């Protein structure tokens, strides 16, 4: 984890030290920001955050929380008429109009992508690898399998943690190059600092959050948060 990171010369690297941060109250009413108020979500979040929750259970909870987020984030998707016959009579049903894309930000976004697939099996998964440098907190792209042929009504960038907002902003910048009609961002925990930055940089997207936390610590981790979401999913401590 980044708490032990040092710059060359052995000095501790504290990239967020002294940087002013907005409060929770200052960001809860931002336009197009949706923060879950579902009691089942709150219940599962407590188990997820608990430091005694081990990787197999943690990964299962990420998928359960991801499924709840997928329901919330797909509430306003467009439908089109779908004529069918039931065993009893013809009827005009409805089906989703246009494809749905999900971009997990590797690697911690992989569990959420599984959750979206369970809710909507025929999504397209567009993988994007971004890794933030623990000294500067800048996100760096290292993997990109975004197709050039776009036939989507919406794409969701998904990542458990919105900390400084750098990874989320870069992911949306990259998705915007594909001219997808509608983009959204989905995360499990957001810090007010990153949420404000993402909302101000990309005011045209919807942002779905399971929980809004207090702040970032000096090394850019969310407090109270859950620690390192990638390490806790994949057991790489």
- For residue 156, list its beta bridge partners: 102, 184
> How long a stretch of residues is the chain?
237
As measured in angstroms, the least distance from the Cβ of 58 to ligand PRP is 13
Nearer CB in complex with ligand URA: 2/100? 2
The CA distance from 217 to 224, in Å, is: 9
CB 80 within 8 A of CB 104: no
The residue from 44, 132, 202, 232 that contacts ligand PRP (CB under 6 A) is 132
| Measured distance CA(112)–CA(218) in Å, rounded | 27
Q: Which two tokens stand for residue 174?
A: 């990259």
Asked if residues 101 and 180 have their Cβ atoms less than 8 Å apart, the reply is yes
- Does position 105 interact with ligand PRP (CB under 6 A)? The reply is yes
Out of 44, 49, 107, 202, the only residue in the binding site for ligand PRP (CB under 6 A) is 107
Helix axes 192-201, 166-176, angle to 10 degrees: 20
Q: Is 27 in the site for ligand PRP (CB under 6 A)?
A: no
Residues 158-217 that bind ligand PRP (CB under 6 A): 159-168, 194
Helices 39-49 and 55-73: crossing angle, nearest 10°? 150
101 binds ligand PRP (CB under 6 A): no
The helix (run of H) or strand (run of E) holding residue 83 is: strand 79-85
What's the min distance (Å) between Cβ of 192 and ligand PRP?
A: 12
Q: Please say which residue, 4 or 76, places its beta carbon nearer to ligand PRP.
A: 4
Q: Which is nearer to ligand PRP, 94 or 136 (CB)?
A: 136
Of 206, 236, 182, 209, residue with least CA distance to 66: 209
Binding residues vs ligand URA (CB under 6 A): 108, 161, 163, 221-222, 225, 228-230
Partner whose footprint covers residue 225, from ligand PRP, ligand URA, none (CB < 5 to 8 Å by kind): ligand URA
CB of 160 to ligand URA, least distance (A): 7
Q: Which stretch binds ligand PRP (CB under 6 A): 24-32, 53-61, 75-83, 154-162?
A: 154-162
End-to-end CA distance of the chain: give it in Å, rounded.
8
Interacting residues toward ligand PRP by CB under 6 A: 105, 107-108, 130-132, 137, 139, 159-168, 194, 220, 229-230
């Amino acid at each position: 984890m980044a708490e032990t990171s040092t710059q060359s010369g052995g000095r501790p690297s504290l990239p967020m030290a002294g940087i002013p941060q907005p409060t929770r109250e200052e960001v809860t009413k931002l336009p197009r920001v949706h923060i879950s108020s579902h009691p089942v979500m709150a219940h599962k979040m407590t188990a997820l955050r608990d430091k005694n929750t081990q990787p197999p259970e943690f990964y299962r909870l990420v998928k359960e929380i991801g499924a709840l987020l997928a329901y919330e984030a797909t509430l306003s998707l467009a439908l089109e008429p779908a004529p069918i016959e039931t065993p009893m009579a013809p009827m005009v049903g409805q089906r989703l109009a246009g494809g749905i894309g999900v971009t997990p930000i590797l690697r911690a976004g992989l569990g959420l992508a599984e959750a979206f697939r369970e809710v909507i099996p025929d999504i397209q998964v567009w993988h994007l690898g971004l890794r933030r440098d623990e000294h500067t907190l800048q996100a760096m792209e290292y993997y990109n399998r975004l197709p050039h042929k776009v036939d989507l009504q919406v794409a969701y960038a998904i990542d458990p943690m919105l900390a400084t907002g750098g990874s989320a902003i870069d992911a949306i910048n990259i998705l915007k190059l594909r001219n997808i009609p509608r983009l959204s961002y989905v995360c499990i925990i957001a810090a007010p600092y990153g949420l404000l930055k993402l909302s101000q940089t990309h005011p045209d997207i919807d942002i779905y959050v399971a929980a809004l936390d207090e702040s970032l610590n000096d090394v850019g981790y969310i407090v109270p948060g859950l620690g390192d979401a990638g390490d806790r999913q994949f057991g790489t401590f």
